[in-house]
């Protein structure tokens, strides 16, 4: 059985989540007013569309796929610092984005 | 139903913030002689390994409950908060993204805390735990403030 390493889960998750956030690119949207999922934005009569679930799902899929597809021997030398630094970078990017939106 | 879920979300967050604060504080403590042991020393004098599984489960439960009540917020007070308190609105957006990114940290967090815990990974363990603690504290405080401003009814 192939050994799996979780070392690249956080970087893959944070990278995909951060890029999707920066691009404001929906993976799918959830419209709670009618409880429907949509792959693209619906008219305003559908109520507010929520991007967060799509980005969360995309991050999970990216992280899981990386763990499953990249052999552990390739990731054993990846220091744990890569995990928390990529997550911290995504957090700073998002905080800056929201602050920019606040003062724009 | 949203109110009940919000209460459980808040309770899980209280347990989580307590557990991760104990664990994070234990990583920052300086070894004080037994004669100088006060509240702070006793607060930090815990076995941090014993908290890891509880923190992992509590994080997942808190996030899941938050995800379940998020639509009620989007349909309810979100528009009002955005118009009246744009700073709080932005802080809540940040909190939701931070909470999602905290999920990304859980596998490496678990790997670093799973016994036996080698002493050579202390630096990574400290960094990951403190970042997770920062996320939990941010989410807790922002959520609390937003609820006071006019959260779910």
Query: Who has greater pLDDT, A66 or B37?
Result: A66
Half-sphere exposure of A74 (CA within 13 A, CB side): 9
DSSP E strands in A5-85: the ranges are 29-31, 36-38
The angle, 0 to 180 degrees and rounded to 10, between the axes of the packed helices A80-103 and B86-113 is: 180
ipTM: 0.91
Q: What confidence tens digit (pLDDT) does each residue in A66-102 have?
A: 999 988 888 777 888 899 999 999 999 999 999 888 7
Q: Which of B32, B30, B28 is nearest to B48 (CA)?
A: B28
**What is the count of structural domains for chain A?**
1
**Beta carbons of A9 and A64 less than 8 angstroms apart:** yes
Tokens of B140: 């807790």
| A13/B78 CB distance under 8 A | no
Query: Who has greater pLDDT, B21 or B47?
Result: B21
Is A87 a member of any domain?
A: yes
DSSP letter (8 states) at residue A42: P
Residues of A within 8 A of B128 (CB-CB) are 80, 83-84
Select from B90, B91, B105 the Cβ nearest to the Cβ of A87. B105
pLDDT of A75: 76
The answer to whether residue B74 neighbours chain A at the CB level (below 8 Å) is yes
Mean pLDDT score, B128-138: 97
Is A88 a member of any domain?
A: yes
pLDDT above 80 for A51: yes
Is A1 a member of any domain?
A: no
Instruction: Convert B49-77 to b/e letters by CB count within 10 Å (16 or more is b).
Output: eebbeebbebbebbbebbbebbbbbbbbb
Q: Which domain holds residue A73?
A: 6-103
pLDDT of B118: 81
Is A80 a member of any domain?
A: yes
Is A26 a member of any domain?
A: yes
Neighbours of B95 (CB within 10 A): 21
């Amino acid at each position: 059985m192939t050994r799996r390493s979780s070392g690249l889960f956080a970087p893959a998750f944070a990278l995909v989540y951060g890029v999707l956030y920066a691009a404001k690119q929906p993976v799918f949207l959830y419209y709670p007013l009618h409880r429907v999922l949509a792959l693209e934005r619906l008219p305003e009569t559908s109520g507010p569309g929520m991007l967060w679930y799509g980005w969360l799902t995309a991050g999970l899929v990216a992280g899981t796929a990386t763990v499953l597809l990249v052999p552990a021997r390739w990731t054993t030398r990846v220091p744990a610092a890569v995990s928390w630094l990529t997550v911290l970078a995504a957090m700073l990017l998002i905080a800056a984005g929201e602050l920019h939106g606040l003062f724009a | 139903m949203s109110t009940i879920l919000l209460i459980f979300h808040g309770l899980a967050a209280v347990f989580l913030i307590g557990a991760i604060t104990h664990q994070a504080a234990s990583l920052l403590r300086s070894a004080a002689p037994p004669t100088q042991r006060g509240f702070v020393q006793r607060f930090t004098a815990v076995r941090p390994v014993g908290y890891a599984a509880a923190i992992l489960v509590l994080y997942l439960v808190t996030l899941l409950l938050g995800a379940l009540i998020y639509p009620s917020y989007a349909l309810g007070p979100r528009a009002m908060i955005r118009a009246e308190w744009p700073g709080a609105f932005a802080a809540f957006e940040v909190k939701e993204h931070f909470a999602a990114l905290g999920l990304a940290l859980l596998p490496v967090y678990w790997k670093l805390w799973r016994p036996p815990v080698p002493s050579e990974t202390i630096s990574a363990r400290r960094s990951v735990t403190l970042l997770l603690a920062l996320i939990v504290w941010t989410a807790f405080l922002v959520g609390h403030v937003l609820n006071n401003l006019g959260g779910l009814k």
